[in-house]
Amino acid sequence: MNLSIATDLFPLLAGILAALVCGLLGNFLVLRKLSLMGDAISHSVLPGLVIAFLLTASRNPLPMFIGATIAGVATALLTEAIKRFGKVDPGASMGVVFSILFALGVLLIEQAAARQIDLDADCVLHGQLETLVWYAAPDSINALFSTETLRDVPRQITTLSIALAAALAAILLLFKELRLAAFDPALATALGFNATALHYLLMILVAAATVASFEAVGSILVIAMLVCPAATARLLTDRLPAQLWVSAAAAVAAATLGYLASIAIPAALDKPAVNAAGSMTLAAGAILTAAILISPTHGVLARAIRRQRLARTVAKEDLLATLYRAQENGQHEVTTTLLKAVTGRSLAATIQDAQRQNLLTIHKGNAALTPQGTHAARQLVRKHRLWEHYLVGKAGIAPDHVHDTAERLEHTNIEPATAQSPATDPHGRHIPPPA
Amino acid sequence: MNPSNATPENNATSLADVSTAWPSLEDTLRVLTLRAGFNTNTVVAGATLLGLAAGVVGVFALLRKRSLVTDALSHATLPGIALAFLAATALGYTGRSLPVLLTGAAVTGVAAIACIQLILKHTRLREDAAIGIVLSVSFGAGVVGLSYIQSNAAANAAGLSKFIYGQTAAMSVADATFMGVIAAAAIAAALLLHKEFALVCFNDAFAKVGGWPVAAIDLAMMTLVVLVTVAGLQAVGLILVVALLIIPAVAARFWTQRLSRLLVLAGALGALSGYLGATASALLPRQPAGAVIVLTAGTIFTISMLFAPRRGVIANTARHARLRLRIAGEHLLEAAHDHARDHPHTPHLDRATRYSIARQRGWHPAALAAITALLVARKRLATTRRGLTLTPRGAADGARVRRNHDLWTAYLIKHADVAPNHVDWSVDQVEHVLSTELIAQLEDELQTQPQTETRART
């Protein structure tokens, strides 16, 4: 794979900048359950763009930027209005607004095309990353670091840099307020921050980021970057500052990997490169999938392992408690066939676990507790019966209804608070003394 | 944006220059009555049937709060189309075959719904994020697939991207027949499974407890949504088919509260949008039919939202205003009653008293004037030289409101354990809506003389 400054520097840079600005703002959308507002806004800026273009009859970016931002904020306002005044489901009201505005945009584009004005709806969707070729590119990397190169930077990259600076400034200056509004808008309002104003500031920033991004990368990447990096970060951390850093890293990684993959993978198959923005979207999806699977705290695998461990502990403890109760009845050995009825889990594995920890011994198909096992089982049965005592005495539950609850609570670390150690449980059984 | 190749003269045009040759009434009638030639008839009929099917099916999506799931579904059809094209070409068939492409679209569409459910079940992400993730990533996959096909496929692959925006004008008889079949299936399912769909839409937990196969019923509903989406891809494109699924259903919801009527109405509004939109696009040059159909639906939605008699915004606002006015009037009568009781020698409300009441209630002087005028017109207050006095009917009303207030206050203090200095505000809201039965019951239960409470207040 050969990368050259002329063909690859600016597209990659534009992709990274767009991913960063959208990825950072996306955190606040995802937390406020507004992820789809990015989707809606990126569809509905289309008529704003076209109207500004038709009115000014030029590709001057400023009017188009203003038109699109107005359309974006109008989407947020109209969605809110339809939701509140029409009492329509929030998802449906968003769908109504953006699809109507998008249809209006498509219609206006046709009108523009009637007069040989070339506005292409396709490039709004997919972007035009590949056209950011730097014809006068220097040959060596060292030549990049001179003021000369600044003049050659294309408009898209300048626009994106400004949008990124604005987003960063807003996040840094209003971090406390945005955080409060993201988690508890009612509290924010009660404390005197205007949560509604913050909401619309966020909408303006999202609209601006959308408009700045999609001339270079297309709205599809905008939608993906507003959701995927933030969702990735949300699965990896529980703290907002960390989430912002992780989402920024995920966004940059998605843009870089996606861009490289769009060239490298087809090249390996001897084909021309595929659409870079689409490929970046897929990379963002792949990173998110990885986070869903292997996040140490919230990942599917980690949670499956935690559940598995808990199930093993519970099965082992149930086994010990059963043997202890048999001991209380004078039966010091229990046949493994009888035990099978008690533990839901595969018995052989559970017994092996317990044997390895030196909690029980097996002799000719009969299981018996070791002294160590007796000690552990006594504590379990004590907790069980204390809970039964507590549930009947303090929570007012009938004695024949407490067993199942106590059966679950005995596996926790919590022992109920009792004034003086009771000697027997509600069923009249002895409560073993503490260790 | 593509670099503009337009000349400066062309660029100098502006919106004001848009001049469309309006069709004659004769032409309009010809298209509307399906006498405008075979091709136009096919398009109009196909769009109408699609609108009908989408309207009916959209109701279930709306009631299940899945409106935006359909958005993810429709975006996810694009990779299916690309994959189906590649697979068919690789196997040596022509990749452009419509059934093949639509099958691919349906498969990835269903997979997208499954992905959303999986993300919701196994991660802490919420529904909005799940929809956004699936929508954008699958559409990105579709874009990559299309760009691969465009630069690699030897066969003529042009036209795959028409599924994004649709091509109503190119609708064939087979397409229109397909729409007809989908519409028939949607209506048949809505009729046959009406009870099951209603149950799952309104109370799925109850349906589950009742032993209904909720998952299967849900699947049947989503299958209908997938069918309509796939059918609409060709005609209006994957972005705007969502509009046909959402908008007629939401618009119909303003007019009725009954599911059966909602289904009929949503189907009718969808069909009307398709019919009028396709007609307009056939008559006017350069009007893409998909967009015109959606904008027609949007117009119907706007009219419904504003003017629907019970749930419309105007009716709602008027009802709200009437209630507020009535409550304000009752507060003024109550205040007048209290004033007359406390000042038996000067029972009339002079200007200063009226303004002090308005200040307490937070009324603007204009609002006070309006309320006073209304009460005078209703003969509850009468104008005298020294100010406003209560007419006998006004006095009775004022006394009634005061009595309700005191009864409810006494009830709250005695039975609801509310602190005496905390009850007044909430009572102010409730005193207007106590029914006669409730008042009788309160009097019965309290066995008190409300006057004692009144005296304590003065």
- The rounded mean pLDDT for chain B is 83
Tens of pLDDT, residues A164-203: 999 999 999 999 888 988 888 888 888 888 888 888 888 8
Tens of pLDDT, residues B59-84: 999 998 888 899 999 999 999 988 99
* Residues of chain B with C-beta less than 8 angstroms from the C-beta of A88: 250, 253
pLDDT of residue B7: 39
Alpha carbon distance B47, B234 (integer Å) = 11
Q: Is residue A424 part of a domain?
A: no
Give the residue from chain A lying closest to B132, CA to CA.
Answer: A36
Domain borders along chain B are 35-310, 315-446
* Residues of chain B with C-beta less than 8 angstroms from the C-beta of A95: 67-68, 70-71, 242-243, 246-247
Q: Are residues A283 and A392 in the same domain?
A: no
- Mutate: best of A36, A123, A159, A237, partner B, most B CBs <10 A: A36
Tens of pLDDT, residues B118-153: 999 999 899 899 999 999 999 999 988 888 888 776
H-helix segments, B308-435:
313-342, 351-361, 365-377, 392-415, 423-430
Is the confidence at residue A415, as pLDDT, over 90?
Answer: no
Q: Say whether B122 and A215 touch across the interface (CB within 8 A).
A: no
Give the residue from chain B lying closest to A222, CA to CA.
Answer: B136
Q: Please tell me the distance in Å from B443's CA to the nearest CA on chain A.
A: 37
Q: Which of A192-206, A222-236, B199-213, B377-391 tops mean pLDDT? A: A222-236
Is the confidence at residue B154, as pLDDT, over 90?
Answer: no
Of the listed ranges A114-123, A166-175, B4-13, B109-118, the least confidently predicted one is B4-13
Alpha carbon distance B397, A9 (integer Å) = 80
> B382: which 2 tokens?
């009468």
pLDDT of residue B319: 92
Q: Say whether A51 and B15 touch across the interface (CB within 8 A).
A: yes
pLDDT of residue B454: 45
- Mutate: best of A106, A130, A292, partner B, most B CBs <10 A: A106
Q: Are residues A277 and A360 in the same domain?
A: no
Closest CB to B137 among A35, A85, A281: A281
Tens of pLDDT, residues B224-268: 999 899 888 877 888 788 999 999 999 999 999 899 999 999 999
Q: Is residue A434 part of a domain?
A: no
From 3.40.50.170, 1.10.3720.10, 1.10.3470.10, 3.40.50.1400, which CATH number describes the B35-310 domain?
1.10.3470.10
* Residues of chain B with C-beta less than 8 angstroms from the C-beta of A113: 286
pLDDT of residue B303: 94
Q: Are residues A277 and A312 in the same domain?
A: no
Tens of pLDDT, residues B185-227: 888 988 898 888 889 888 889 998 988 998 889 888 888 999 8
User: Rounded to the nearest 10 degrees, how much is the dihedral formed by the CA atoms of B388, B390, B394, B398?
Assistant: 100
Is the confidence at residue B406, as pLDDT, over 60?
Answer: yes
By DSSP bridging, strand B381-384 and strand A334-335 are unpaired
Q: Say whether B151 and A272 touch across the interface (CB within 8 A).
A: yes
Is the confidence at residue B394, as pLDDT, over 60?
Answer: yes
pLDDT of residue B232: 86
Q: Is residue A415 part of a domain?
A: no
pLDDT of residue A109: 81
The CATH number linked to A214 is 1.10.3470.10
B383 by DSSP, 3-state: which? strand
By DSSP bridging, strand A366-369 and strand B387-390 are unpaired
Q: Please tell me the distance in Å from B320's CA to the nearest CA on chain A.
A: 12
φ/ψ of B119, rounded to 5, equals: -60, -40
The CA distances from residue B345 to B218, B332, B350, in Å, are 73, 20, 13
- The rounded mean pLDDT for chain A is 84
* Residue where a domain terminates, one of A268, A295, A322: A295
> A32: which 2 tokens?
């406020």
Is the confidence at residue B15, as pLDDT, over 70?
Answer: no
Tens of pLDDT, residues A346-382: 777 788 888 888 888 887 778 888 889 889 998 899 9
Mean pLDDT of all residues in B265-293: 87
Q: Please tell me the distance in Å from A108's CA to the nearest CA on chain B.
A: 9
> B17: which 2 tokens?
């220059």
Give the residue from chain B lying closest to A291, CA to CA.
Answer: B123
Q: Is residue A422 part of a domain?
A: no
Q: Are residues A274 and A136 in the same domain?
A: yes
Q: Is residue A420 part of a domain?
A: no
pLDDT band of residue B9 (cuts 50, 70, 90) is very low
The CATH number linked to A404 is 1.10.10.10
- The answer to whether B55 touches B301, Cβ cutoff 8 Å, is no
Is the confidence at residue B155, as pLDDT, over 60?
Answer: no
For residue A362, list its beta bridge partners: A367
Q: Long-range CB contacts (< 8 A, 24+ apart) of A86-92?
A: A86/B250, A86/B254, A86/B305, A86/B311, A86/B313, A87/B311, A88/B250, A88/B253, A89/B62, A89/B65, A89/B67, A91/A36, A91/B65, A91/B66, A91/B67, A91/B68, A92/B62, A92/B65, A92/B67, A92/B68, A92/B246, A92/B249, A92/B250
Alpha carbon distance B51, B48 (integer Å) = 5
Q: Are residues A159 and A229 in the same domain?
A: yes
Mean pLDDT of all residues in A281-297: 93
pLDDT band of residue A344 (cuts 50, 70, 90) is low
Q: Are residues A226 and A291 in the same domain?
A: yes
Mean pLDDT of all residues in A300-315: 90
Residue type, B410: A
φ/ψ of A89, rounded to 5, equals: -50, 130
| Residue that wins the pLDDT comparison between A122 and A22 | A22
Domain B315-446 has CATH 3.40.220.10: no
Structurally, chain A folds into a number of domains equal to: 2
Q: Are residues A393 and A264 in the same domain?
A: no
* Kind plus residue range of the DSSP H or E element containing A262: helix A240-268
pLDDT band of residue A134 (cuts 50, 70, 90) is low
pLDDT of residue B17: 45
* Kind plus residue range of the DSSP H or E element containing B112: helix B98-122
pLDDT of residue B41: 82
Alpha carbon distance A186, A90 (integer Å) = 19
Give the residue from chain A lying closest to B287, CA to CA.
Answer: A107
Residue A111: give the domain boundaries: 5-295
Percentage with pLDDT > 70 across chain B = 88
Q: Say whether B250 and A96 touch across the interface (CB within 8 A).
A: yes
The pTM is what?
0.81
* Residues of chain B with C-beta less than 8 angstroms from the C-beta of A228: 133, 136-137
Mean pLDDT of all residues in A283-307: 92
* CA proximity to B177, closest of B45, B27, B333, B40: B45
Tens of pLDDT, residues B303-331: 999 999 888 999 999 999 999 888 999 98
Q: Is residue A426 part of a domain?
A: no
Q: Are residues A190 and A68 in the same domain?
A: yes
DSSP characters over A78-103: HHHHHHHHS---HHHHHHHHHHHHHH
Q: Are residues A253 and A362 in the same domain?
A: no
Q: Please tell me the distance in Å from A138's CA to the nearest CA on chain B.
A: 24
Percentage with pLDDT > 90 across chain A = 26
pLDDT of residue A128: 67
pLDDT band of residue B456 (cuts 50, 70, 90) is very low
